[in-house]
Structure 1
Amino acid sequence: MGLRYDTGGQGSAEYVLLFAAVIVIVIAGLYMYYSYFSFGEEVEMVDVSLTITNTGPRPSQFIYEANNTTGVNRHISTGNPGNFFFTLAQGRSRTFSLGTMHSPASFTIEGGVGNPTRGSAQQRGEGQSGRWTLTIGNQTISWDIKGPYDWRKKPSGSVIRSFSISGGGGGLPFNITEDLQTVRTNVSGAFKII
């Protein structure tokens, strides 16, 4: 009785080993790809909001505009009613969500007190003031703006501040720059009534 050579089983085993090797190579490649693009600190997402408070002696009109300047300058649409006038009674506040951001990110906040198209002095913001409080994650910064705001005049009575989220953990510390003089003399038309 002669021995038979069973080559069919050997071929199947080779295919199983080959398939297992391909899976190991794919998993190793995915791990290297993930490691390459997530090198360094993990991206921390933070909520950004703006609270505007009427600190003046009377009700008045307020306006703000937020623009994302990371890459292409664009209006932050989640901040409704950004670029629209709204009324606040004395001591009242209104909070606007500017969305979720992560480092690196940069954006500007412009603000004004008073509506130059309204008839009464308080609606135009004469003698009025407001406090802008920006919250980025667990950090806050506040600044004051005095009326009247009028984009048709120089100075315009508006204030702009630029913020950049720099990362680094601990609630993403942010940097602030401001250029009040340039804005007050050159921002004509920055806000428009829609």
Structure 2
Amino acid sequence: MAWQDAVEQTVTGLGYDLVELERSAGGLLRVTIDLPWEPGQPAAAEQFVTVEDCEKVTRQLQFLLEVENVDYKRLEVGSPGIDRPLRNDRDFERFAGQVVDITLKAPIGATGSGVAVNRKKFRGTLERTADGAGWQIVWADEPVLKPGQKVGKNRPPAPVHALGFVWDELREARLAPIVSFKGRSAPTSSDGG
């Protein structure tokens, strides 16, 4: 068994999900963990990884890596943070309705569609497609307001765009790093992304 598989088994055996395993050339071994999520679990009930969780996993992984004779200089165990990577359909289900950043492998867009021809990066609300078979992000290109600038009542709303995609088209998908001292919450209908 490869040591990467042993790390994943150890992390899941301790009751966590392995989000990412990264090894740098400088000898750093970075392990990103998260608490497990079950479909149907309300977002308000979601808990977050604590320092104690990271310490617990670190102690077990130090023993494992010694037994597996893995050469590393520093082990770093942490939580996924506010810009958590989304790696599979389960992550998409968990964070449906949240604002996400996606990067496509190839640019898309068409003249007259409102999307730049060479655009690869998008930020919008993650949603299921109408047929329920795939995923899309939805956003409105609202103009940036200057501080103190008021929005006129007669200003037309920005057009709403939707982009459906499949896994093979994605280079990366992450939660948008939105800082709020009230915590991450589902966007309201006025949020455009």
User: What TM-score do you get using the length of structure 2 for normalisation?
Assistant: 0.21
TM-score (norm 1): 0.21
Larger Rg: 1
